[in-house]
Structure 1
Amino acid sequence: MNPVLVVHGGAVRIVDKDQKEPVRQGIIRAATVGYNILREGGSAVDAVESAVTVLEDDPEFNAGFGSVLNTDGEVEMDASIMNGKDLSAGAVSAVRCVANPIKLARLVMEKTPHCFLTDQGAAKFAAAMGIPEVPGKQLVTERNIKLLAKEKHEKDAQKLDCQKSRLALSNRNARATEAICSFPVATFKKK
């Protein structure tokens, strides 16, 4: 039976025209790396870790190098991995100075009795495992700095629109005002 590997580039909004081909090529590279591992008899976990590492190293994707920034303009990354044979799993969150969080998640799965480490606990574990520390600034792209600035500007504009709506509807009840001022916000983590 031929192995199967499915790779996707994340749950990103519609990709800009100038990004479509680089994103497509990145997904092809990741799938090829993972598929070759499976074809040569490697494990599914090896294939997944390697494919995700390719995506984390590619600035076109929002993990690893090129991660989406939190509201403070910093990188905070999450990753998880699972072995379908024995259902073991490992995950990390709020990782700041590791280039490939998927590698750290795998180490959590294989080297600890835990299945999830976060923030400082994950950082200490990474250091203990010899994972090189990468300054968070090295994982930031100019595109994501601009994206964060745009999102902050849009959020500020939404606040102004909401305030104008409240003034215009001062004679209405609070419930109606809340309904008019409701809007989705970005899912950035606060420090």
Structure 2
Amino acid sequence: MLKVNDMLPIVVVHGGAGHIPKHRSEMSTAGVCSAARAGYTILRGGGSSMDAVVEAVSSLENNPCFNAGCGSVLNIKGEVAMDAIVMDGLTLGSGAVSAVCNIANPIQLARLVMDKTSHSCLTAEGASQFARSMGVPEVSPESLITEYSHMLWAKNLAPHANPVESQM
């Protein structure tokens, strides 16, 4: 009979919501598997579930196949404006950032908001100021824009664009 300490961790990762075109499904599946492995490695090494979640999501943010971090969906102006939130199920603590445009891993910044402030959410310039105060490196917003995200943005600007059809 297995004891609680004998149980192996399980990591479940999803790559976001929405339609995944057939030509991107293989790399999307590989990216989700890689993110799950990254989180699992943290757990097997004795890390916390929060550490595992942040690692798994960072993996997704670093993968241009997904629409977070590098590869983010662009706003109406063609700019990156990312959001991220984490929540600790044990303590019910949470941290979030919104409208972040120059941080490679907004999930890591959200974790810092949870761990290092009394705030629930920091937005735009306030989030950027906090990131700088925490020593989080900035990246150019352009480095987060992929050819694919730019193409989707351009298609969605077309008159009468159907967002689902535009992603095919």
| Equivalence for 1:157 | 160
Separation in 1, partners of 2:122, 2:57: 19
Kindly name which structure, 1 or 2, has the bigger radius of gyration based on alpha carbons. 1
State the 1:150 CA deviation. 0.6
Residue 37 of structure 1 and its aligned partner are, at CA, apart by: 1.1
- CA distance in 2 between counterparts of 1:59 and 1:185 reads 20
Query: Retained in 1: the 8 A contact 2:82–2:98?
Result: yes
1:157 Cα deviation after fit: 3.2
Which residue identity is paired with 2:23?
D
Q: 1:6 aligns with which of 9, 12, 15?
A: 12
- How many angstroms does 1:40 deviate by? 1.9
The aligned residue for residue 30 of structure 1 is 35
CA offset at residue 58 of structure 1? Answer: 0.3
Name the structure 2 match of 1:53: 58
Question: What letter matches 1:29 in structure 2?
Answer: S
| 1:123-162 correspondence to structure 2 within 5 Å | 123-153=128-158, 156-157=159-160
Q: Distance in 2 between matches of 1:48 and 1:157?
A: 38
Residues 87, 95 of structure 2: 8 Å contact kept: yes
Look up the match of 2:47. 42
1:79 counterpart SS class: strand
What CA distance in whole angstroms lies between the structure 2 residues aligned with 1:140 and 1:134? 11
Counterpart Cα distance in 2 of 1:91 and 1:46 = 16
Counterpart selection for 1:100 from 105, 110, 113: 105
The answer to which structure, 1 or 2, has the higher relative contact order (CA under 8 A, 6+ apart) is 2
Distance in 1 (CA, whole Å) between partners of 2:148 and 2:33 is 22
Structure 2: which 5+ runs fail to align? 1-6
TM-score normalised by L of structure 2:
0.90
Cα deviation digits, residues 44-67 of structure 1 (max 9, x gap): 000000000000000000000000
Identity over aligned pairs, percent? 53
Give the Cα separation in 1 of the matches to 2:88 and 2:106.
17
SS in 1 for 2:132: helix
Distance 1:185 1:27, change over 3 A: closer
Q: Partner of 2:21 in structure 1?
A: 16
Structure 1 residue 185 displacement after superposition: 7.9
Give the partner amino acid of 1:21: E
Q: What is the DSSP-based 3-state SS (H/G/I as helix, E as strand, rest coil) of the residue aligned with 2:160?
A: helix
**What residue ranges of structure 1 are gaps of 5+ in the alignment?**
159-183, 187-191
SS at match of 1:109: helix
